[in-house]
A and B are shown apart, each in its own frame.
Chain A
Amino acid sequence: MRINCPHCGTRPVEEFTFNGDASVQRPASNDPKTMDQWFDYVYLRDNPKGRFDEYVHHSSGCRAWLVVTRDTQTHEVFGVVTARDHAKKRVKA
């Protein structure tokens, strides 16, 4: 498997470290009433068959955290953006 890093180009998967679901978002509030949101954020993960957004670190490359969208069944990669751009896009949405 290869990943097309926005900074480095297409590189072999061994250069990357996977870190799970990128659809979750860290809650903004520290209000104890938001504890359920925090619990979901820290512990609950979907395990979808098919399209999946995933945090991937180019740990042996440019050190950027990326969000890779891939098919969990076929490993086909649909797109790669930096985690930074992913976060910005989410703020707008």
Chain B
Amino acid sequence: MTGFRLAKGGLVDRSTALNFQFDGKVFSGLAGDTLASALIANDVHLMGRSFKYHRPRGVISAGSSEPNALVELREGPRKEANTRATMIELYDGLVAKSQNRWPSLDLDVGALNSIVSAMFVAGFYYKTFMWPKSFWEKIYEPIIRKAAGLGVASKEADPDKYEKAYAHCDLMVVGSGPTGLMAALAAARSGARVILADESAALGGSLLNENEEIGGQSGGDWAAGVIAELASMSNVTLMPRTTIFGWYDDNIFGAVERVNDHVLEPSPYEPRQRYWRIMAKRAVMAAGAEERPIVFGGNDVPGVMLAFAMRTYANRYAAAAGKSVVVFTNNNSGYRTARDMKAHGVHVEAIIDSRKESLADASGVRVLRGGMITNVTGGKRVTGVELADHRGISCDAVAMSGGWSPIVNLMYHRGAKPKWDERIAGFVPTNVGEAFVAAGSAAGKMLLSECLADGARAGTLKGKTPAIPKCRDEAFAVTPLWWVKGSAGKAFVDYQNDSTAKDLPLAAQEGYRDIELAKRYTTAGMATDQGKLGNVNAIAILAEATGRTMDQVGTTTFRPYYTPVSFGAIAGPFVGHHFQPVRKTPLHEWAEEQGAVFVETGLWMRSSWFPQKREDWLASASREVLATRERVGLCDVSTLGKIDVQGNDAAEFLNRLYCNTFSTLDVGKARYGLMLREDGIVFDDGTTSRLAADHFLMTTTTANAARVMSHMEFCHQAHWHDLDVQYVSVTEQWAQMAIAGPKARTTLQKIVDGATLDDASFPYLAAKEISILGGMTARLFRISFSGEHAYELAVPADYGNMVARSIMQAGEEFGITPYGIEALSIMRIEKGHVAGGELNGTTTAGDLGLGKMMSSKKDYIGRMMAAREGLMDKNRQSVVGIRPSDARDKIRAGSHLLKKDDAPSMAADQGYISSVAWSPMLNMWLGLALLANGRERHGEVVKIFDGVRNIHMYGVICDPMHYDRENKKLHV
């Protein structure tokens, strides 16, 4: 043995040395090592500090349950915090750092916490730092966060790719040990589609770690033979490095495949990780069992580890955990470790067996029956153990085994609970349906022969079960030992969260008897390992403290994820611009040419204003308003929802959807429509045109386009399936632009083919198909949101930019100006048209001043509920106009309205300002407001209270229509 690397054996490749860094120091390991095994081989046991007390910690396990050896893996943008050294495959150039220490792992200031540990008892989060309240945010929390965080995430963007994928199979097998291999083999030989997944880098499960004998060969060789057979079959998919993290409805499993975590940098053509959704007709849980620690003083000193982990490091990685070992056990697993270590040439001082009697083979190692370790000496490394009878034994490593817990987590992700089995002293699966069954040690079968047979049985979907090879069994016997009560030092139940044995009785004493409450009070089981090792011990200690059985206490709820899943894997490729699409309107290019500033509304990029020189948004929007009102403006309104409605019953359908009537609309005309929700509140509004007797074009607000479509589909299919009507969204098929202003008609006339746009042939609210630019079919609507003589022109989307450019050319002589949604918004507020601020999900048609639109001659969505007393009350807040009393004041949306002399209070509240704009026409700020009984209060002076700035001013209530009340400009 050179150092702690065993001279012989193991599955490591001794011809391939790999260099790596841990905390800045360079070490050498071998291909096939994990970071943990390589560190152990280099005699490094101190791998981190604990969360609360900052105690020195070493590796406890050899797998995914590891609570202590959490490191920051990699550097820069690829840095990943809280990765388990036991699961990190070593590669050349690997860089890792320990966590929870400052300034260094060796010398840590936070370890003082241990000395003042009285204040860190159970419930310390709830009891400590409660007073004074103001201290929490500024003093306590930042200090606690700095001193007691886990790893630190990288703040740089992850440069790697992640994928999402789906898979289907007849049988999925979770775990590739003896049980899983037999299950996969049985199913695969019958022709079934099989997926075999294992979280480890290599398939074989415990057969890679243990000395077994199957079918006259070593367990490893037998496994290799089965894996080779499976690999040769086209109906089998082998998935190593894949963690099945959750079980979901319909027997769907979530999985993460670590495609490239074991290399320095992923190839640019491959993802780092792949997030799988596996649809399995059936599944077998063959994840085996997890060894438990024993709760005794100093069970966290670096060098103390699980017995199974110690022999795994020796058998699989040829790494000795020490030169002189003590074993502490309550079952036969400890004996197995003693024998294996001895066979590897490691000195085993003694087996401390808590049982008074045992028949296990100690292979000549001294056994102290009925013995207890009460304390482990040593700070950063074990130096020895103290026994209950005050004897001391020197050693540099301790192997412990508190029994085995079947790994059942996945089976309980959908609500069921496991039950306690006295024989194996562990929670075993209950029946959760035939689609997902446990087999082997996951089902509490603790002998190898049982595992092979159980796996074969579970994997036989049809036909004959394959022959089961003969094997050598290791006897299984356990007598529970949960807590060495005479422990001298701290005895940990949950390593990562530093919960000790004393915390649980204290929680029970303080009333937190329920396991779910005790868990939260003590934080046992709440760390990143979710209590994989310590939960059963915690349940047993709580059971004893409260005089209940294990089943009476029960387990906490098992939830996905089995092990942590990175955000990268969950996000998959949907990052940056792939997170959500960008919707550009058909006039986007034209708007860009005109220098538009765009704003995101939903997914849309809308042209917001078109600044010239050094204009700010308000100067630009004001200029655009003036130009439109004085000459002519062009605005992109393509984002409005457009729904084409056709059929014999199209008019009837619209009658039922809108509160006003559409069956009376003449062909070739447009009408403003208002839709209610079934509860009587306003849902959406827009202009709908009748293009033929059985053909309408509906427009919706930009925000509600998708919702209105779903609503129509629901109403038609669920309520009125007998209506002969078809409808489809054509929002993206048409570019639509508003041409507004006194010169709008003259401008448009220049591009229209043949027809004359006079009031006789094209009156207000006309809606007709026309021809423009020498043969292009377009739709022209004489409607106005700005209050000007205006049109909306719709052309097939692909012609949008070209047509907009043509209109700009046609209007050049009149000074045509592009205007954005800021100018549009100013003009609609000047005109008192309601929009999002008023159509806010609380207002009725009456509140908006549109009560007269509600027909009494027909049924429509919302009719009945809109007639409720409370929705008709005259004191409801209704839409009014508002202006500051002093024209120099700036009023703001969201400000509350009060009677002139009232002080601000909820009781005195009269309403609020819903929309404001600077009006270039009136040279002042003006707005729309919702005011109690507002329509009766025009002319009243009110107090405007801005609670955010804590200021107030006065305003005058007026008609919502601030500008051109006679609508003269519509008809110029």
Contacts and interface: CB of A to CB of B under 8 A. Distances in A.
B721 A57 contact: no
A9 to B, nearest CB: 13
Given A83-B717, A83-B718, A35 B864 contact: yes
A82 B80 CA distance: 48
A57 B414 CA distance: 25
B721 A1 contact: no
A63 B710 CA distance: 8
Contacts of B710: 17, 57, 59
B279 A84 contact: no
Q: Could you say which interface size class chain B belongs to?
A: 20 to 34
A67 B224 CA distance: 51
B719 interface: yes
Contacts of A43: 679
B682 to A, nearest CB: 15
Contacts of B868: 35
Interface stretch (B196-204, B245-253, B500-508, B659-667): B245-253
A35 B867 CA distance: 10
A22 B864 CA distance: 20
Contacts of A59: 710
Given A65-B718, A87-B721, A42 B679 contact: yes
B713 interface: yes
Contacts of A57: 710, 713-714
A91 B862 CA distance: 22
Interface in B244-262: 248-250, 252
Given A30-B863, A42-B865, A64 B717 contact: yes
B659 to A, nearest CB: 13
B421 interface: no
Given A30-B859, A38-B865, A65-B713, A1 B249 contact: yes
Interface string A70-93: 000111010000111011100000
Contacts of B415: 73
A88 B721 contact: yes
Nearest to A12: B277
B106 interface: no
Interface in B890-936: none
Contacts, number: 61
Contact of B718 (A27, A38, A55): A55
B940 interface: no
B717 A82 contact: yes
Contacts of A42: 678-679, 865
Contacts of B678: 26, 41-42
Given A17-B710, A83-B717, A1 B252 contact: yes
Contact of B250 (A2, A22, A73, A84): A2
A86 B721 CA distance: 10
Contact of A63 (B248, B713, B718, B859): B713
B714 A65 contact: yes
Given A17-B710, A38-B864, A42-B678, A26 B719 contact: yes
Nearest to A38: B864
A1 B248 contact: yes
B863 A55 contact: no
A6 B279 CA distance: 20
Given A42-B678, A57-B710, A59-B710, A1 B717 contact: no
Interface in B447-477: none
Contacts of A63: 713
Contacts of B252: 1-2
A17 B279 CA distance: 21
Nearest to B706: A59
A35 B863 CA distance: 11
A32 B866 CA distance: 12
Nearest to A30: B859
B785 to A, nearest CB: 30
Contacts of A74: 414
B572 to A, nearest CB: 13
A88 B721 CA distance: 8
Interface of B: 248-250, 252, 277, 279, 414-415, 678-679, 710, 713-714, 717-719, 721, 859, 863-865, 867-868
6 contacts: A22-B718, A41-B678, A77-B250, A83-B718, A84-B718, A84-B721
Given A12-B277, A38-B864, A83-B714, 14 more contacts: A1-B248, A30-B859, A30-B863, A35-B864, A42-B678, A57-B713, A64-B717, A65-B713, A75-B250, A77-B250, A83-B718, A84-B721, A86-B718, A87-B718
